[in-house]
Amino acid sequence: MVCLSGHKDAFLIGLHEFSLYPLLHLLRAKGDTLLYTRNYILVFIIGAPFVIANLSLEETVRAEGASTASMIGLISGVVINIILDPIL
């Protein structure tokens, strides 16, 4: 299931690359803000498959009955994100 999700995500990233500028115009990004908005959305789109894979795997582990391991993995990701956000 995760493999199929990865192929779908790759397809959607490619699709969003072509529809990125219409989306930016829909968000009314103009002038100087257009570049910043494009960069932000591009990072968001590239990172989305990793978030989706993380949540899919976390739910799979939870469904197998290892809810404690799932919780530890989820909390570890949150703590690492909190630590790395100011650095990056």
Percent of the chain with pLDDT strictly greater than 70: 78
Average pLDDT over residues 56-79: 87
Average pLDDT over residues 38-50: 81
Asked if 57 and 69 count as a contact pair (C-beta separation under 8 A), the reply is no
pTM over 0.85: no
**Amino acid at the residue 73:** G
CB environment 8-45: b (16+ within 10 A), e (fewer): ebeeeeeebeeeeeeebeeeebeeeeeeebeeebeeeb
Average pLDDT over residues 41-66: 84
Residue of 76, 73, 51 whose CA lies nearest to 62: 73
Structure-token match 């949540």, residue found: 55
The whole-number pLDDT of residue 10 equals 67
